[in-house]
């Protein structure tokens, strides 16, 4: 059980090819089964073939560069699509909206959504080819702020939202204090440094301000401003480093899979 303690664990072959940007994972699986891929000079025909960190991978006899830069996309999620790789019933997914737009040099990667937004929530959703960045952005240990704007049914004022600023108890445990600003009587801005299932909606509902609509404006210092609905842009290395505070290291501790929506 401690075979890989202190060492980098091997990846499996199809995922290693996708992470390297050689080809999407489904195409990688087909190439492997067709005998086009070798690992350390031996043809591999199983997509789950383990690939040690120092292995030499070749496709059609050409070496694959396994170390690739981190790429991050900012995407303006519209309402009515799932943050999922599979559609449910007739509801489509964010991948169905995003992937057809990508140029070839970006379409070769396997993209991961950074957290989730609920089907009716709009706004900034990040995608990356680096699963360590997913952990960095979604872990509460990172303290990366996420800013939301909620349109609420009832009348909002500072007294009503004060419990959110103080920290409140939800049904799944205590919530950290949030930064809250009342923009007008029906619009509340909420900034969190953690992400739990429907957290913003549940916090507002707990103080009698049920949300009619929810929009995420920012993650870290990356904003959705100027990005058309369903549009995307590639972040610069400087933005990833400075605005998402990411240097290539995943945080220790728990990771939130659900995010708040």
* Cα–Cα dist 99/122, whole Å: 18
Q: Which residue among 11, 54, 118, 237 is the active-site one?
A: 118
Please choose, from the candidates 261, 219, 216, the residue with its C-alpha nearest in 3D space to the C-alpha of residue 116.
261
* Cα–Cα dist 191/85, whole Å: 27
* Cα–Cα dist 27/206, whole Å: 47
Sign of CA dihedral 132, 138, 140, 143: positive
Q: What's the gap between Cα 84 and its chain centre?
A: 11
Question: Does residue 82 contact residue 261 with C-beta atoms inside 8 Å?
Answer: no
Sign of CA dihedral 242, 243, 249, 252: positive
* Cα–Cα dist 67/63, whole Å: 12
| Whether residue 131 lies in the annotated active site | no
User: Hey, which residues are catalytic here?
Assistant: 118
């Amino acid at each position: 059980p401690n075979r890989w303690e202190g060492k980098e664990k091997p990846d499996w072959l199809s995922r290693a090819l996708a992470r390297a940007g050689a080809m999407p994972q489904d195409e990688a699986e087909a190439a492997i089964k067709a005998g086009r891929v070798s690992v350390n000079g031996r043809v591999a025909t199983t997509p789950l073939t383990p690939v040690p960190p120092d292995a030499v991978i070749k496709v059609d006899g050409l070496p694959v560069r396994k170390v690739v830069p981190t790429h991050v996309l900012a995407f303006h999620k519209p309402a009515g699509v799932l943050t999922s790789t599979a559609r449910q019933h007739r509801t489509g997914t964010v991948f169905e909206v995003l992937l057809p737009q990508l140029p070839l040099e970006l379409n070769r990667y396997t993209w991961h959504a950074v957290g989730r937004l609920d089907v009716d929530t709009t706004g900034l959703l990040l995608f990356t080819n680096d699963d360590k960045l997913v952990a960095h952005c979604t872990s509460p240990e990172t303290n990366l702020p996420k800013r939301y704007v909620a349109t609420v049914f009832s009348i909002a004022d500072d007294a009503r939202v004060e419990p959110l600023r103080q920290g409140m108890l939800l049904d799944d445990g205590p919530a950290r204090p949030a930064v809250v600003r009342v923009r007008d009587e029906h619009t509340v801005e909420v900034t969190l440094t953690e992400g739990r299932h429907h957290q913003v909606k549940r916090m507002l509902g707990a103080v009698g301000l049920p949300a009619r609509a929810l929009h995420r404006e920012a993650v870290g210092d990356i904003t959705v401003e100027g990005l058309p609905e369903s549009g995307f842009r590639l972040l610069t290395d400087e933005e990833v480093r400075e605005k998402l505070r990411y240097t290539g290291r995943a945080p220790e501790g728990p990771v939130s899979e659900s995010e708040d929506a």
